[in-house]
Amino acid sequence: ASLERLSKFGIVNHAAEKDIAQRQIDALSIKTPSRITKMVSLSGGNQQKCIVGRWLERNPQILILDEPTRGIDVGAKYEIYVL
């Protein structure tokens, strides 16, 4: 989510940030031990789902993705395609 939506007067609302993270983990079936796990430690497919989730959180009217499933396993590809 954009920083502007998560902050007021330069102070980040960490509760809202955590809520958004958990909502995306649940909605996209991101396999992670914890929502505070660094994205670099996730599998390629789960990293890709995090990136897609970040853009989806902005509620775009249209989202154009260039090879969103390149280099990830078949299961993760399917999960991204059904979004």
Of the CA atoms within 13 Å of residue 33, those in its CB half-sphere come to 4
Q: How confident is the model at residue 1 (pLDDT cuts 50, 70, 90)?
A: low
Cβ atoms 75, 45 nearer than 8 A: yes
The pLDDT value recorded for residue 81 is 84
With contact defined as beta carbons under 8 Å apart, do 53 and 22 qualify?
A: no
Count of all residues that appear for the chain in the document? 83
- What is the rounded average pLDDT of the residues 2-6? 72
| Token reading at 50 | 């995090």
pLDDT exceeds cutoff 80 at 3: no
Predicted TM-score (pTM) of this structure? 0.78
The per-residue pLDDT for 26 is 93
pLDDT digits 0-9 by tens, 17-72: 889 899 999 998 999 999 889 999 999 889 999 999 888 888 899 989 898 888 88
Angstrom distance (rounded) from CA 38 to CA 65: 23
CA distance 61 to 67: 19
